[in-house]
Chains A and B, each alone.
Chain A
Amino acid sequence: MNIPVSAATLRSDAAASTGLALSVDRVALRFGGIHALRDVSFSAAPGQITAIIGPNGAGKTSVFNTISGFYRPSSGTIRLGDQDINSIPVHARAGMGLARTFQNIALFRGLSVLENIKLGGHHTMKAGVLSAVTYSRAAREEELRLRDEVERRVIDFLEIDHIRHLPVDALSYGLQKRVELARALAMQPRVLMLDEPVAGMNREETEDMARFILDVQEEWGVTVLLVEHDMGMVMDISSHVVVLNFGEVIASGTPAHVRQHPQVIEAYLGAESVGAA
């Protein structure tokens, strides 16, 4: 199946799952006496790609984990669309359209590619034993059919049809990353968070992944928020870049703006990197 066709069919769904804005407003996160995040504010515009960069230990993953709901901010609010999600449990955020991948691939080992992807669609169905009784059969079948369709499209879209019955452990690192992205897409997200999507990839794999991320944003209309160390890739695909250092936002703006920002150059990029990027 070639990409343009599946992309076109996906586009028809884009209206139903248009990206939501994600805004982080004056968020602080403390562990005991340690300030992991101080007064962090930024927002990811709907349907755009926003990148968070910063040196190791700058708080990038803390931001992600706070948005996911693993950590409750000490102060400040996180909004998905218009809704304050601070007090919403992790699992319920999936139903609101929040999906993510992890820095260290978090696929379920021992399950096949397809089973992993199917788990992404889990939240779109009424869960539990009782619902099988209380829920009408027709409605259930309709739900299943829709979900199968989404899964099929995701699999075609990411070109992983040939491996769908393999156990994930058997796949190369690059493919595992792609399957994790597929699982996140099967959640039909409105905001997609990618934690270092090309870490450890070679040039070719990185280019493939960058293309998939751009396609996801363009064809599905999903808001993308990513953390990444690969400067070339970040500057190429992002429309907005947020720079963190020591748990604080030191700059944000377009790639061109951030690249010239003196504090960023000092804190993170260094003179040579600016030239190279």
Chain B
Amino acid sequence: MSELSIFLEYSLLGLLSGGVMALLALSFVLVYKGTGVINLAVGEIMMLGAYLYYAAVVSFGVNPWLAFAGSLAVIAVLAIVIERLVLRPLSGQSAVSVLMATIGLASIIHGGVEAVWGGDTYTPPGLLPRTPLMMGDILIPGAVLGNFLIAFVLILAFVAFFRYSRTGITLRATASDPVTAATLGINIHHAQRLTWALSGLVGTVAGVLIASSVGLSPLLSGTALAVLAAIVLGGLDSVLGAIVASLLVGLIEALAAGYLGGKTRDLVPYVVVLAVLVVRPYGIFGSRTIERL
């Protein structure tokens, strides 16, 4: 296998896994942009979604697609409940209090998952067939490709939803100026509820996809940390930035793991992020004046 093929294979794998990370980044950015909350429980919510999927399929023998739909529904409802019971009462409080509340939430979900399922690693069944793709001497595992395709379609759907649909434009308006949105007759509580539900949905999709390719354990929530790096890199409140930066972080991770060894996988992206932030504190796409969602 030539040097070039190896480089291409690493890059392609990196970009494909970056696509799934972009879903998780979207889950985070939606809530930040829509409600101003930095939700550090994104990884835990995603993990819980994946466990629910696993439990439904393996413990209760439900059809995988049905189980998938079921876990989406449960997480969407849970996200709405979290918004109503935890975050709405905290609205108007300092950013640090809200941040602490999401950290607490993360701990509760994490502990709950460990209490029910323990610390073992499970392998949830995949949703798509796992036929690998050969391109010359480059091999792309089927799960990686399938996951990327699902993520890609979902992200496109989201972008279209926010760009063109009436509800999507309403959500953008609420994100950019809730007070004015309310005077136009937009129920901003309704919009924020919907934002949380959508965030939970994309997070769960990401969780199920990642768990079905790398395995399911409480460590899964840690994936969100790498995504956090991507989000900061892209600019906290930029959907486009989150997507591009996720692909970039995926690429850097794969190249670092391939050339420098697996242990550097989690290290190198942070070094890059730090370097970028020194130069551009608002991230690559982030700025205060341009509306991006």
Contact = CB atoms under 8 A, between A and B. Distances in A.
A140 B167 CA distance: 14
Interface stretch (A112-120, A199-207, A208-216): A112-120
B186 interface: yes
B176 A122 contact: no
A108 B185 contact: no
A110 B251 CA distance: 30
Contact of B173 (A102, A119, A127, A187): A119
A119 B167 contact: no
Interface residues of B, number: 24
B291 A122 contact: no
A109 B289 contact: yes
Interface in A211-235: none
Given A108-B177, A109-B289, A129-B194, A100 B172 contact: no
Interface residues of A, number: 29
**Majority secondary structure, B binding face:** helix
B263 interface: no
Contacts of B187: 89, 91, 127
A94 B185 contact: yes
A58 interface: no
Nearest to A186: B184
Given A94-B183, A123-B186, A108 B172 contact: yes
A125 B169 contact: no
Given A91-B188, A109-B291, A110-B176, A68 B183 contact: yes
B182 interface: yes
B280 interface: no
A111 B291 CA distance: 8
A250 interface: no
Interface string A84-121: 00000111111100011010001011110001001110
Interface centre among A92, A93, A106 (most CB of B within 10 A): A106
Contacts of B173: 108, 111, 119
A100 B183 CA distance: 7
A68 B176 CA distance: 19
Contacts of A275: none
Nearest to B289: A109
6 pairs of A and B residues whose beta carbons are closest in the complex:
A123-B185, A110-B291, A94-B185, A90-B182, A106-B180, A91-B187
6 contacts: A106-B180, A108-B291, A118-B166, A122-B184, A127-B187, A128-B167
Interface of B: 166-167, 169-170, 172-173, 176-177, 179-188, 190, 194, 289-292
Given A106-B179, A108-B172, 5 more contacts: A90-B182, A91-B182, A91-B184, A127-B167, A128-B167
